[in-house]
Structure 1
Amino acid sequence: MMADALKVALAGLGTVGGGVIRLLDENRDLIARRAGRPIEVVAVSARDRSKDRGLDLSQLAWVDDTTQLAHADADVVVELVGGADGPALALARATLAAGKGFVTANKAMLAHHGLELGAAAEQAGVPLKFEAAVAGGIPVIKGLREGAAANAIGRVTGILNGTCNFILSRMEAESRDFADVLAEAQALGFAEADPSFDIDGVDAAHKLSILASIAFGTRPAFPNVQVSGIRHVLAADIAEAAALGYRVRLVGVAEAGAGGLFQRVHAHLVPADHPLAHVTGATNAVVAEGNYVGRLLFQGAGAGAGPTASAVVADLIDIARGEFGTAFAMPVDALAAAEPADSGERRGRAYLRFAVADRVGVLAEIAAAMRDAGVSIESLIQRGANPGGDVLVAIVTHEGPERCVASALERLRGSQSLTGEPLWMHILG
């Protein structure tokens, strides 16, 4: 005889929330067999009760105050409202305090409040699960927390934002500039009307801080992620990178070592033979390097109704089976409070692009700043004048400390020879 149904209360009936209800209905029998019991949505809450969502909600209890969903007749609450604070956080706290399991796709809330919520879940003895919060339908959280649990993870590298990857790969394929492709991404629904969280790297940084915590056994440390986005990348940069054997991608990198926890989201030049170089469109990918398992590649759809709903329901199946552990792969008290690593001591190669006035002596000024800062130049490329009269100069450095590159750029700050801010992209090692 099959056990009683796992009763679910669902906050948020947008694209993903609707996808969860449809998935649970369409795969009902299969899910029940895999979970050992049915999974049923019994209560919902959303902003607009009267909106036609193409769903039959007549048999479900409707709760107007989202926070009160924590007190519905349900075993688990699923939060798909979004936002680091506000109703989502209030619902998370109320649900865990009520001794109920909590499933969320909310990376911002976890990046800012994950430690608090993880501790509350442990104290209540209930699950806190969030597979859908990082990389959509890709089971990277489960892969790191369970499949690679025996390994010391040395490094996690990933393309964690589909909007940025869509824009960069379209710029690459069609030699188009950023603003043009961003407008197309917005028209296609890949980018929000206000795309700042995506294109400035914040969304990817939220996800990276969660991955770093699970991979390295450290406390989530979003404030320590060094973040920059892609809005200043030109089609000319992408063409230059291609000529050098690279592709431009927004990459998150996290490493833990004796010097502390390093976390960065930044546009990188990725070697053409690296797995991340071949990730195009709105796809996400994560590479994790374990000391026994070697390199693991997780790749797939990083957003959208189907993939994200798939991850949410996978968490519900685990809960229905009674299979869940601590939120961040170990008890909160065991998570290390790692100091942020000094990026200046990191060694690597860099791509630097300058927009400069078309006059004699400019290249010598740039070269002198590099020399005085201890930066060794591997190659220097100057392209012809743009319609505005300036010239693009690209430099690839030899390997060296990042603090030297930062010093060189500081020496050039305010130079009358530069007609815009330099662009610094790291070359992925």
Structure 2
Amino acid sequence: MSDLLRLATAGSVDDGKSTLVGRLLYDTKSVLADQIDAVTRASVDRGLDTPDLSLLVDGLRAEREQGITIDVAYRYFATPKRTFVLADTPGHVQYTRNTVSGASTAQLVILLVDARKGVIAQTRRHAAVLALLGVPKLVLAVNKIDLVENPEEVFTSISAEFNELTSSLGWASEDVVEIPVSALHGDNVAIRSDKTPYYTGPTLIEHLESIPVDAEPHRVGLRFPVQYVIRPRTAEFLDYRGYAGQVAAGSVVPGDEVVILPSGTRTTVTRIDTADGELDVAHAGRSVTLILADDVDVSRGDTIASPSDAPEPIGEFDATVCWLAEKSLRPGARLLLKHGTRTTQAIVGSLVERFNEQDLTTDQGPDTLELNEIGKISIRAAEPIVADDYAVNRHTGSFLLIDPAGGNTLAAGLVGDVISAVELGERV
């Protein structure tokens, strides 16, 4: 089991995400006493009987004034059993792009619903996005369970509807857990509540502490996008040539044969350098500098990979994208494509289909993709990229589409036909 769990929150407006995150921080003693005192005073000034824990996390002034979460904020907390990095994402439809960003690296997502409202359109939208992103584990937190009549009946009904939805999106039943909670009062968050005798499962924190999560569910060989070529050219390091970057997948040890992509040149790793000295092995997520046996042509944007399963560089491909801009996407759009450390010009060919996340159907050949819509498109890149299918590896199968004029991110993209996998009920 990993000592670190990356998770995110998702849900609709007023489902209580900020309060739940505040409760997690409070119950794990991850906030300072003066912060609690400040929240308590602010809550009293608002006429509240109990501290408004959402004030611990809604940091932007606009968030506090409107009572909503706007930006993705990363929170860190820990228990004796595990350390957590949590991406607190917005609930507004207009900020779905932020949810995509926050959940893209999550190993588990806590999806909230208000017990009084149940599974709504935004719940289905978030579930579909999380399925497309390949999030391995889900927790449905049925919040505000203390505010409904017949809570057992409500919880059972919401759980059944959500199970039907997640099953159609491809999650196995063991990968989805439903928990009735009251974030405001702390019921079933860190402490088991005697107000929910019908629920016999773990508290939220117990589940987060115990769930086994594979940090690299789809194992592939080495993928090392080169970020920078190090040539000190000093008397001490006259012949030094190193290739710096972060291991995106797999691992590498000195003596490994590797291939440089897209050129296809082969060589051997002789040393792995870091600021703290040499390493015997570097695993995914580690930032290192590789020293190669031969004086080969390697530049920023190239990928050093294991020869046994090296992906073929691609210039034309189909991809699933979540469109994140106010301006519509149309065929023929000229954009920048950023994949790993490589950025190249690209042209959008056809819009193949648009995904309807509410009924899990597709519209063939749409004229446009609008803000927050998900679709499959064809892309032609000016320079080939070294990408795995997203179903094989999330890190090397994802990319961004960028506005060449202003530099704004326009879309988050997934290499391959991710939509069809979801429609068929297969997990990516």
| TM-score under structure 2 length normalisation | 0.27
Higher relative contact order (CA 8 A, sep 6+): 1
More strand by share: 2
